[in-house]
Amino acid sequence: MLNRRGLIAGTAGLALAGPALIRPVFAQGSGPIRIACAGPMTGSNAAAGEQMKIGAQQVVADMNAKGGVLGRQLALEIADDACDPRQAVSVANQLAGRKVAMVAGHYCSGSSIPASKVYAEEGVLQISPASTNPKFTDDGSWNTFRVCGRDDQQGQIAGAYIAKTYRGKKVAILHDNQAYGKGLADETKKALNAAGVQETLFAAYTPGERDYNALVSRLKGAGIEVIYVGGYYTEAGLILRQAKEQGMNVTLIGGDALVTKDFWQITGAAGEGALMTFSSDPRQRSTAAAVVQTFKAKNIDPEGYVLYTYAAVQIWAAAATKINSVDPKKVAEAMKASGPWQTVLGDIAFDRKGDVTVPDYVFYVWKNGDYVQM
């Protein structure tokens, strides 16, 4: 149901309804333009989905307050894929049937990649705020974009740092066997090995469990001093906490999926000193100052992927305005041909694959319940 600003706050049953296989038609008109935010609104990665939803809702509200896009209000669909690939495909079919012009999503690479195939066939533009697996754009189509970096860039930074900082230490690289986690672990291993350091252990764990003590005992028995986790914040937090409970003096390092304060809620004091890679703090950029103040006035910390989702919609709207059309293929071509696009993240331009031309990864350390850039 639309509110006064044309904002659909969410459709809780969207991910469970049967798919509507109606090919979208994007004629110019006077009615609302449907766009969507798709991600894990439930499940172990729901904190990331909430970040995306908050960003999408705010950018739609801000744009509608200024007249919308091409004189038309925006109507936002919120779709839950629970970071499940099969559910993501179902969601993609449903959103295509609802004639959305673009999707800001998904979060997990394992969802974005299969969903992108549906969107490409059904004529829907996809801009992921968070999916970093290289295959998303390497094997993508006309419609795949991301406003974040890639795992081969992030892994290079992590592997080189571990090799330099922890040379001579026993390192374990763990992953969850999913597109994001395994991809990031592989790239970190590649960079670490290229720097002349061999990990002591490279192993998978099963995501979604609560007890990782058997894995931790294996790490402890091997004398592991540094744990790199290619995976999401819930499992990384549990592994670290249980390692500390077993008396291990270990440093945990992870990727951008740890960029939520829910990580600390899981680890407690055990999270002190944990490290992660993410872009330089978008909340501190001058281009985001006004929007950050809007969030703070609502007592919301726009951490993680809030501003990335905001930026994804900004770029789509700017490109549509530039060409005076919301036709997804025309907008996609304009996004690549023109730019850079002004966003809350700063100026963003895309290469022909749909990757950002200037990735930006740095290290953060967890201190006293918060993460700060090193």
Model confidence over 280-333: pLDDT tens digits? 999 999 999 999 999 999 999 999 999 999 999 999 999 999 999 999 999 999
**pLDDT tops 80 at residue 342:** yes
**pLDDT tops 90 at residue 7:** no
CB-based burial, 164-203: b 16+ in 10 Å, e otherwise: eebeeebbbbbbbebbbbbbbbbbbbebbeeeebebeebe
DSSP secondary structure, 204-255, as one string: E--TT-S--HHHHHHHHHTT--EEEEES-HHHHHHHHHHHHHTT---EEEE-
Mean pLDDT value of segment 355-366: 94
Instruction: Tell me the pTM.
Output: 0.88
Mean pLDDT value of segment 36-52: 97
Q: Are 38 and 105 in contact (CB under 8 A)?
A: yes
Q: Are 354 and 120 in contact (CB under 8 A)?
A: no
Q: Which of 6-20, 67-81, 131-145, 303-317 has the lowest mean pLDDT?
A: 6-20
- Vertex 312, ends 295 and 125: CA angle to 5°? 145
Mean pLDDT of the chain: 93
Residue 247 exposed, middle or buried by CB count within 10 Å (0-12, 13-18, 19+): exposed
Q: Are 192 and 161 in contact (CB under 8 A)?
A: no
Mean pLDDT value of segment 244-263: 97
**pLDDT tops 60 at residue 74:** yes
10 Å Cβ neighbour count for 294? Answer: 14
**pLDDT tops 70 at residue 20:** no
Residue 25: the pLDDT is 43
Residue 318: the pLDDT is 98
pLDDT above 90 covers what percent of the chain?
A: 91
DSSP 43: S
Mean pLDDT value of segment 223-248: 98
Tell which residue, 26, 74, 51, has the closest CA to residue 295: 51
Q: Are 184 and 255 in contact (CB under 8 A)?
A: yes
- The residue with tokens 């592997």 is 159
Model confidence over 79-98: pLDDT tens digits? 999 999 999 999 999 999 99
DSSP 277: E
DSSP secondary structure, 53-117, as one string: HHHHHHHHHHHHHTT-BTTB-EEEEEEE-TT-HHHHHHHHHHHHHTT-SEEEE-SSHHHHHHHHH
**pLDDT tops 70 at residue 1:** no
Question: How far is Cα of residue 283 from the mean position of the Cα atoms in its chain?
Answer: 16
3-state secondary structure of 143: coil
pLDDT above 70 covers what percent of the chain?
A: 92
Lateral strand order in the sheet of 251-254 = 201-204, 171-175, 226-230, 251-254, 275-278, 362-367, 370-373
Residue 28: the pLDDT is 54
10 Å Cβ neighbour count for 143? Answer: 23
In angstroms, the Cα distances linking 332 to 16, 19, 24, 120, 206 are: 29, 25, 16, 11, 37
Identity of residue 142: W
Residue 4: the pLDDT is 28
Residue 14: the pLDDT is 54
**pLDDT tops 50 at residue 18:** no
Model confidence over 87-135: pLDDT tens digits? 999 999 999 999 999 999 999 999 999 999 999 999 999 999 999 999 9
Q: Are 11 and 67 in contact (CB under 8 A)?
A: no
Residue 136: the pLDDT is 98
Determine the Cα–Cα distance for residues 19 and 16; give it in Å rounded to an integer: 9
Largest CA distance in the chain: 66
Higher pLDDT, 369 or 20: 369
**pLDDT tops 90 at residue 75:** yes
Kindly indicate the confidence band of residue 359, based on its pLDDT and cuts at 50, 70 and 90: confident
